[in-house]
């Protein structure tokens, strides 16, 4: 059998962690895009670039896709007897869940508080 095969639970655990880390990287980018132009006195996000809204939504979509994939692979391989690395499965699962939850919160915050001030 191949060294890396998604049929093996150890490989699923490793893929889960890698996808979760990638989703956290995109989540950091999304947080930067969301909180870059925030006015703390009124809790409004002011932006001038009309493409910024689409960049936030695309970063959220990629974060959600990677995070859901990570939590799915982590949850699938976590309780299996043949998995020699259940810690990695749970790590990928919980990092994926955290990234998905925060991505949803950031998108909702941007959607409700963003204001376009350009022409």
Residue 1: pLDDT band with limits 50, 70, 90: low
Domain boundaries, the chain: 14-116
Element of type H or E holding 47: strand 44-47
Is residue 4 scored above 80 in pLDDT?
no
Report the distance separating Cα 45 and Cα 81, nearest Å.
Answer: 49
pLDDT tens sequence across 53-74: 999 999 999 999 999 999 999 9
pLDDT (mean) for 73-78: 89
pTM: 0.90
Do residues 64 and 101 lie in contact, with contact meaning Cβ atoms separated by under 8 Å? Answer: no
Least confident of 4-8, 32-36, 69-73: 4-8
Is residue 2 scored above 70 in pLDDT?
no
3-class SS of residue 10: helix
């Amino acid at each position: 059998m191949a060294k890396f095969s998604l049929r093996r639970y150890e490989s699923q655990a490793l893929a889960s962690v890698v996808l979760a880390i990638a989703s956290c990287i995109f989540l950091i980018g999304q947080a930067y895009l969301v909180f870059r132009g925030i006015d703390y006195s009124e809790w409004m996000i002011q932006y001038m670039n009309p493409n910024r809204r689409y960049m936030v939504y695309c970063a959220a979509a990629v974060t959600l896709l990677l995070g859901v994939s990570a939590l799915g692979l982590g949850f699938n391989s976590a309780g299996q007897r043949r998995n020699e690395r259940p810690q990695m499965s749970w790590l990928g699962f919980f990092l994926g869940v955290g990234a998905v939850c925060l991505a949803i919160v950031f998108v909702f915050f941007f959607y409700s508080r963003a204001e376009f001030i350009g022409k």
